[in-house]
Chains A and B, each alone.
Chain A
């Protein structure tokens, strides 16, 4: 296995790791936010509807 091959494997693994991290980030966005009101798309800016 030559040096070029090792570098390429490292780059590919890095790309997979980055894509995995991005997918994890997206899947977190998918998850239910308990603090939100029913009809509220809340994020860092708008926390929750008053009860």
Chain B
């Protein structure tokens, strides 16, 4: 506390409309790396970071994007509480930096008008000024500042323009009382219930007229022309499909070389371990458990990186919002809220941020309907599974001679998830979550050249998360699975009698008994026994017990399927058998009766199962937290698993009937 009784820590709130550039400015001012995208509503939770103001460190709070402070949705509630100083554990801000998008000045200034009424000093940070100037508009910042009776600073987070000036202006306004720049007489005859709203808009209109000149409408017209094609109900969808095909095809072709190199690298490490270490259980664990398990997943890093490169490029250019607009037409037909588009798009990376982003939806029923379908969006954890299946059975095949079969199948899996999600949402909105169809006005952000720094930052963050997961959770699960596949060690006699061998206790097979071949050991292991127990259930889907073990393991996390298969085919490899890549091992795998364990139809069935099944403990946890109930996550696990089984069953049996088996 200082001598005046103020807390010595200065708190500054960063507030503004969705997609005004708050998070980009926040990252630029604090040096932090919050996620940024070119669509509204990226910041659902409050984020904090240090901002140096004239040598002092202030606490900068990045609030969720808001259109008003009327507090109708949860995020508006949180933001207005913080500005009022009514949020528990958060100091009332000493000043607000109002982030205002120059290209949408009138709409953005409405929120600023409300901020003035809270009695907290405001400094306006004018963003997108470069886009605004490119559109041949001119803005008189001094006039704007004079009319609004508050400092206005043009900023550019990328170039750093206005950053120091903004800090100086914030310093100036600290501990001052803001002046509300417009007048409103509540007792006037024409006031009415919405009188205050009209006064604000009238004032904003005057201010904008005085301080902005539009010298050219060409850019607007061009953007509108592009939108007319990209959001067209037929051509828009054709273009969307074409873009996704190109993206998936590029991912497959660009990733194949680094993937091969990584696979060879892990193979070489495994060979090195086997050559340099004495034969024994530790060597087996390192080569067959850890290197095969973790390496099996890490080889998909190039594809994950490329997927996020394209997602970031599409988001940052503004195209993703157009794609969402196209899907919104479908979503609104089934009664899903338009605001559901952001959570669903976020779920393509991971369902967890997607489910958290549903907080922007005011209606509880609409919000729960969105949460229930978010895991159908194909997240990045499914990518290794799709890639493995496509690489093993559909690689090198083309449709119409030039479109890769892999890209078509990948697109089909993404589309299947979206279609099932829309159907399920329609059913939920007509039954357990019945509510009137909500209205929603969607904002289409302007097109812009993607910011390469933001794009690479997103890629880097995702790569780090993927590797961290491989080095922690996947590593631990790989070791446990290896142990379950390795123990108990059986001899010829014990395998016949079913009695446990002495080897279980010592880890060494006695000299009197002959050790079983590794493929037989695997069959008699704990995992093998479990696999045989569930085999009758999964046989109608075309899966043998080894795939069953991998399926069970993947309920912890989807990509564990890949590491489990990698371990299972390494552990079960008999002495003298040549070491091979996972794709080759999957292709050559045999069932107990010597038939091929996998066919293209089995691979397709497994992919369909993965599109529809709820196999992520973290998602279950977040649904429990967000719905504050056990019934919703249990319902989600139940109906998604049933749907996955049914989908896989229909795919396999239908395929067999059509002669693909």
Contact = CB atoms under 8 A, between A and B. Distances in A.
Contact of A26 (B74, B472, B483, B617): B617
Interface string B358-394: 0100001001000000000000000000000000000
B288 to A, nearest CB: 12
Contact of B624 (A8, A29, A47): A29
Given A30-B625, A41-B356, A47 B88 contact: yes
What bracket does the count of chain B residues touching chain A fall in? 35 or more
Contacts of B498: none
Interface residues of A, number: 31
A38 B285 CA distance: 48
Interface in A7-51: 7-8, 11-12, 14-16, 18-19, 22, 26, 29-30, 32-33, 36, 38-41, 43, 45-50
Contacts of A2: 280, 507-508
Interface stretch (B340-348, B437-445, B474-482): B474-482
B512 to A, nearest CB: 19
B480 A19 contact: yes
Contact of B483 (A4, A12, A50): A12
Of A16, A33, A36, A47, most B-chain CB atoms within 10 Å? A47
Contacts of B327: none
Contacts of B356: 41
Nearest to A1: B506
A33 to B, nearest CB: 8
A46 B78 contact: yes
A26 to B, nearest CB: 5
Contacts of B627: 41
B47 interface: yes
Contacts of B518: none
A39 B479 CA distance: 40
Contacts of B202: none
Nearest to B282: A4
B396 interface: no
Contacts of B261: none
B537 interface: no
A39 B364 contact: yes
B282 A41 contact: no
B285 A45 contact: no
B77 interface: yes
B480 A5 contact: no
Contacts of B88: 47-48
Contacts of B472: 18
Contacts of B45: 43, 45-46
Contacts of A26: 617-618, 621
Given A30-B625, A39-B628, A4 B479 contact: no
Given A4-B282, A15-B480, A45-B46, A22 B625 contact: no
Contacts of B359: 41
B87 interface: yes
B81 interface: yes
A11 B285 contact: yes
A50 B77 contact: yes
A3 B45 CA distance: 51
A43 B81 CA distance: 16
Contact of A7 (B77, B282, B621, B628): B282
A5 to B, nearest CB: 4
Q: Most B CB atoms within 10 A — which of A15, A29, A39, A40? A: A15
A34 to B, nearest CB: 11
A47 B78 CA distance: 9
Interface in B472-496: 472-473, 475-477, 479-480, 483
Contacts of A36: 628
Contacts of A18: 472, 476
Nearest to B48: A45
A6 B508 CA distance: 12
Contacts of A46: 45-46, 78
Contacts of A11: 285, 479
Contacts of B78: 46
A49 B77 contact: yes
Interface in B508-525: 508
A40 B480 contact: no
A29 B473 CA distance: 17
A8 B476 contact: no
Nearest to A16: B480
B81 to A, nearest CB: 6
Nearest to B86: A50
Given A47-B89, A49-B77, A50-B86, A32 B621 contact: no
A45 B45 CA distance: 6
A30 B506 contact: no
Contacts of A47: 87-89
A30 B281 contact: no
Contacts of A12: 479-480, 483
Interface string B623-661: 011111000000000000000000000000000000000
B388 to A, nearest CB: 24
A15 B294 CA distance: 13
Q: Which among A4, A36, A47 has the greatest number of chain B C-beta atoms within 10 A?
A: A4
B47 A45 contact: yes
A39 to B, nearest CB: 5
A30 B472 CA distance: 21
Interface of A: 1-2, 4-5, 7-8, 11-12, 14-16, 18-19, 22, 26, 29-30, 32-33, 36, 38-41, 43, 45-50
23 contacts: A1-B506, A1-B507, A4-B283, A5-B507, A8-B282, A11-B285, A11-B479, A12-B480, A15-B475, A18-B476, A22-B476, A26-B617, A30-B620, A30-B625, A32-B628, A33-B625, A38-B628, A40-B74, A41-B359, A41-B627, A45-B47, A49-B77, A50-B86
Interface of B: 45-47, 74, 77-78, 81, 86-89, 278, 280-283, 285, 356, 359, 364, 367, 472-473, 475-477, 479-480, 483, 506-508, 617-618, 620-622, 624-628
